[in-house]
Amino acid sequence: MVWYNDGQNLGVRIGTIPVEDVFYGLFMFLMTVTVYEALLKRRAVKGLAAEHAFGSQGRGPCSAEAATPRRGR
């Protein structure tokens, strides 16, 4: 059990939990999700840039298909 000193917080509670603790926990959760989503978006943008540079077939200079001769052209 934790005892909170109302002299060191706002004194506003949600149930028995000071409102600062609730918002701190939500803020940490939302920051984690925000950073994760930003990294996914950044990765997707880089992937689209690479796809645009090498064409939608994925035949860039480092791909296995680029090194394999193609027949029928």
40 pLDDT more than 60: yes
Q: How far apart are the first and last CA of the chain?
A: 75
69 pLDDT more than 90: no
The predicted structure's pLDDT at residue 47: 75
Mean pLDDT taken over the chain: 77
In this structure, what token pair is assigned to residue 37? 């989503």
Dist. CA 50–CA 39, nearest whole Å: 16
**Computed from CA positions of residues 55, 56, 59, 60, in that sequence, does the dihedral angle turn out positive or negative?**
positive
73 pLDDT more than 70: no
Question: Which of 17 and 32 is assigned the larger pLDDT?
Answer: 32
The predicted structure's pLDDT at residue 39: 92
How confident is residue 54, by pLDDT bands cut at 50, 70 and 90?
low
